Structure 1
Amino acid sequence: MNYKSYKLYLTLLSLVFISKLSAQKFDKKYQENFKTNKDVEVIIDATNTDINVTTWNKNEVQINAYIEVEGVSKEEAQKYFDNWEFEALSNKRKVNIQSLDNLKKGFKNNFVFFDNMDFDFEMPDIDFSSFETIVLPEMNFDFDFNFDNILIDIDENMGKNGKYDFRWKDDDHDIVITSKEEWEAFKKTKEYKSLKEKLKIDKEKIRKEIAESKEQLKIEMKKAKEDYEKIDKEQIKNELAKAKAELKKLKLNFNSDKNEIIINGKTVKITKRLEIKVPKKATFNLNTRHCKVKLPNTVAVGNVKYGTFIADNLIDGKLEIDYSKVTINDLNACTLFLNNVTDAKIASVTNTTMSNNSSSVNVANINEDVIVIDKFGLFTVENFKPNFANFSITLSQSEAILYLNDVPSKFKYQVNKVKLDNKAAKNPLNASTTNIIKVNGDYSTITIK
């Protein structure tokens, strides 16, 4: 056994002690009940929260709110509980529900997030055969990290391998960039200059926190050294093996979509959840960010950003959904805006207008009277109802694939530089049908089968 191995053992030993502390979970629950009208409007303003809504046969709204914190002490967990801005207020006509982060006291939104900024290290194999001869050595803590390239030279990092992926979210900004054009435009703004200054400040803040962490680690190592002779050697072997397995999982990962943050080298997981029961005729007004939202049969309006949206039947609503995964069973008499939604699945659409930008949308069934406007995306329809009446699609630098199968239809085109492949045009029943597909657009591709 060599000198370097001793250092590794001691480091692993301290990580075992830390991992036992970080495994703790603490939770808190709130409940609110309100007597309401049967058609009550439920207004939800939330961030980083799982929201599940169900209906019942009562003129009453019930909210069960849960928060769980993992990886900190009981006292530290209480601070997160206190910083959760949960509130529910009501009268007969409206219920206002709020689930927000206190950004001034929190940590997560003080960072600028670049996707794939991961720092991995290799974990060498450990030979336990000579473990009994361990002598605990002195360790050198005079190491440092270079944050200059990460935090300052963002222009050099941006666009590597042709990828542009940048997010800036704090109290005053909510900026997402996914292309070179957006990045070049952003560099001309005053927000860009503000960002450069902010990163200088954050760099010094992180360096200070690391320095404090090193001092704390020195103290922990000293204590471990003093306690070493008191610990059963066989037990240490087992604990070190566990620590090795945990080290293989460790990764410093800046990602705004996770409910995790790194504080002084510790992973803290925060989970917030709302379970809401409403009358069957309740309607919803949504303003959610980084949330998973699940709705029943209902009317919904508002905005959903950076999350997941699942709904059964949406009726007579107006929703804008950005950067989220979307699953909807039925759209009826709705107006739906999808922006940068790479995975949208809708089972059926009726009397609805859809406007899609830079999105991939799959519709299983078109029932009747549907209007689609699609830019820079892919729009697919798997099936048309025999009497779908009118279907209008306007494309701009997009691709559309429509499966008419044996359903007859007339066609009307108003296009410019559109590649059109209509294999359904030869259906002998087309001349006698009242169905019509109107195709408008430019610089696009449409295939009808």
Structure 2
Amino acid sequence: MKYRLFKSIITLVVFGCITTSYAQKFDKKFKENFKTNKDVEVEINASNTEINVSTWNKNEVQVEAFVEIEGVTKEEAEKYFKKWNFEALGNAKKVQIKASGSNIFNLKNDFVFLNNMDFDIKIPEIDFSNIDAIVIPEMDFNFDFDFDEMFSELEDIDKMVEKNGNYKFHWKDDENDIEINNKKEWEAFKKTKKYKELKEKMKLKKEMAVVKLKEAKDKIRKAIEKSKKEAKIDKEKIRAQLAKAKKKMEKMKIEFEAGKNDFTINGKKVKIKKRLEIKVPKSATFDLNTRHCKVKLPNTVAYGNVQYGTFNANNLQGGNLNINYAPVSINDLNACTLFLNNVTDATIASVTNTTLRNNYSDVRIVKINEKVSLFDKFGTLVVESFKENFGEFLLSLRNSNAVLTFGNTPAKYVYDVNRVKLDNKRTSENKNTNNVVKVNGSYSSIVIK
């Protein structure tokens, strides 16, 4: 198949040139159009980018990419623009859009060693007082993070710089501003005293970070062992504390690994904003692979993975989507399979003919319509209403809390539960209705209103 590479339309604007009291801003724009089928597949692979998608009455995909940088010189901005990995390729059936970070600030490629990299990681304060002896249920809680692997790139400069044969390196702090662009320069730098200083500094940073995380892990482990030796039982509390500890540990990983658009380099604040504005036919579908992006979709079908950032969609009318560590807002979920992992704030207005799986997430559903299955693990689930004839509703809970509000909607209930605190506030069930709620659960609490 034939592809047409994007043509860039570049606009470079400098703000604040008259006075030095304002930071300079520079921006650049790319634009590309593709004639497509009405059901074209749009593949988006992006990081640290705001992504806005809208539909129009054309069999055409229009891609506009914007990048704005503030707090650097004109020469530095132009260098960033040249290295920004934006690409648009397409034909009638498929359009591929790539928008990843420029290597000039990318930690895994052209490494920038900043003078404010202190890795001040706070150990979570977890209250294990008065937690009594208990046979703890099997839990998906991994104490064995590979801390050395998490921070390996902080010490192994050689592996990082020589990766893929790029030999790109940039070290800048109060005393140094060293830039390497090829293998010859890198080999020469390795023979200098500065190389040894940097190697030692990064080794110390790694050791500090690893110690902090290991202290947190040991504290949790010791507290659990202590709790097993006590005399009384408080099952609900220990499960809640363990879930909280899991989230704390995961959050520490996120805070270290998450990409950011704001940097402080040698005391100067640098801001980078990247945005994609995409227009597609109304029957287009999406294949997403985004990291640290603000994603906004119209009425569409979506597949793929969304990690970090935020996710907002009007109507998802099919697909299979995994969302991790990103607040979620969806107006209508229909004929979908959706997995939410560590999503602390998810709101879905309407759910129909859908399978929804949640792990360590807080989910609010305004209305359940029909043919819905929910699986929740170590999370909180709130359903505010049900359609009058919702049919069969399947609910599976593991170490979770659920609140279901039926109002005047009649229903019958079937329970298969183990160690579940059940509070059914409905005085009676209507045996003449075709609405059936099937609950399977363990170590959970359910309130039915």
SS of the counterpart of 1:191?
helix
The answer to whether the 8 A contact 2:411-2:435 is kept is: yes
How far did 1:424 drift?
2.1
1:210 is the counterpart of 2:174? yes
How far did 1:162 drift?
4.0
1:417 is the counterpart of 2:432? no
Residue number in structure 2 paired with 1:20 = 20
Residue number in structure 1 paired with 2:78 = 78
Residue number in structure 1 paired with 2:205 = none
Residue number in structure 1 paired with 2:308 = 306
How far did 1:210 drift?
2.5
SS of the counterpart of 2:381?
strand
Within a 5 Å distance, the mapping from 1:127-142 to structure 2 comes to none
Identity %: 55
Sort the Cα spacing of 1:344 and 1:26 in 2 relative to 1 into closer, same or farther, 3 A: same
The answer to whether the 8 A contact 2:65-2:275 is kept is: yes
Residue number in structure 1 paired with 2:135 = none
Within a 5 Å distance, the mapping from 1:399-438 to structure 2 comes to 399-427=401-429, 430-438=430-438
Residue number in structure 1 paired with 2:152 = 194
Unaligned runs of 5+ in 2: 1-16, 128-138, 161-168, 178-254
1:64 is the counterpart of 2:64? yes
Residue number in structure 1 paired with 2:320 = 318
Sort the Cα spacing of 1:95 and 1:441 in 2 relative to 1 into closer, same or farther, 3 A: same
Within a 5 Å distance, the mapping from 1:105-184 to structure 2 comes to 105-107=104-106, 150=118, 157=121, 159-162=123-126, 182=142, 184=143
The answer to whether the 8 A contact 2:26-2:74 is kept is: yes
- Opposite residue 419 of structure 1, the aligned amino acid is K
Sort the Cα spacing of 1:20 and 1:346 in 2 relative to 1 into closer, same or farther, 3 A: same
1:185 is the counterpart of 2:184? no
Aligned length in residues: 333
The answer to whether the 8 A contact 2:417-2:439 is kept is: yes
How far did 1:92 drift?
0.7
How far did 1:159 drift?
2.4
Sort the Cα spacing of 1:31 and 1:421 in 2 relative to 1 into closer, same or farther, 3 A: same
Q: Distance in 2 between matches of 1:29 and 1:74?
A: 16
SS of the counterpart of 1:380?
strand
Q: Distance in 1 between matches of 2:400 and 2:256?
A: 33
Question: TM-score, normalising length from structure 2?
Answer: 0.68
Q: Distance in 1 between matches of 2:404 and 2:358?
A: 16
Which of these two proteins has the greater Rg computed from alpha carbons? 1
Question: TM-score, normalising length from structure 1?
Answer: 0.68
Q: Distance in 2 between matches of 1:159 and 1:398?
A: 25
The answer to whether the 8 A contact 2:316-2:332 is kept is: yes
Residue number in structure 2 paired with 1:353 = 355
Q: Distance in 2 between matches of 1:146 and 1:320?
A: 34
Sort the Cα spacing of 1:284 and 1:192 in 2 relative to 1 into closer, same or farther, 3 A: closer
The answer to whether the 8 A contact 1:36-1:93 is kept is: yes
Sort the Cα spacing of 1:57 and 1:207 in 2 relative to 1 into closer, same or farther, 3 A: closer
Sort the Cα spacing of 1:88 and 1:257 in 2 relative to 1 into closer, same or farther, 3 A: same
Q: Distance in 2 between matches of 1:57 and 1:21?
A: 46
Residue number in structure 2 paired with 1:5 = none
Residue number in structure 2 paired with 1:383 = 385
Residue number in structure 1 paired with 2:44 = 44
Provide runs of 4+ in structure 1 moved above 6 Å: 199-202, 205-208
How far did 1:426 drift?
1.2
The answer to whether the 8 A contact 1:338-1:355 is kept is: yes
Sort the Cα spacing of 1:259 and 1:194 in 2 relative to 1 into closer, same or farther, 3 A: closer
How far did 1:43 drift?
0.2
The answer to whether the 8 A contact 1:381-1:402 is kept is: yes
Q: Distance in 2 between matches of 1:402 and 1:98?
A: 42
Residue number in structure 2 paired with 1:127 = none
Sort the Cα spacing of 1:43 and 1:110 in 2 relative to 1 into closer, same or farther, 3 A: closer
How far did 1:80 drift?
1.2
Q: Distance in 1 between matches of 2:256 and 2:24?
A: 23
Residue number in structure 2 paired with 1:176 = none
How far did 1:384 drift?
0.3
Alignment deviations for residues 279-300 of structure 1 (CA, whole Å, 9 cap, x no partner)? 0000000000000010000000
The answer to whether the 8 A contact 1:108-1:261 is kept is: no
Q: Distance in 2 between matches of 1:263 and 1:285?
A: 36
Sort the Cα spacing of 1:46 and 1:257 in 2 relative to 1 into closer, same or farther, 3 A: same
Q: Distance in 1 between matches of 2:150 and 2:107?
A: 20
Sort the Cα spacing of 1:399 and 1:111 in 2 relative to 1 into closer, same or farther, 3 A: farther
Alignment deviations for residues 100-153 of structure 1 (CA, whole Å, 9 cap, x no partner)? 1144x32455899xxxxxxxxxxxxxxxxxxxxxxxxxxxxxxxx998xx45xx
How far did 1:199 drift?
9.6
How far did 1:311 drift?
0.4
Q: Distance in 2 between matches of 1:312 and 1:446?
A: 30
The answer to whether the 8 A contact 2:81-2:102 is kept is: no
Q: Distance in 2 between matches of 1:45 and 1:431?
A: 51
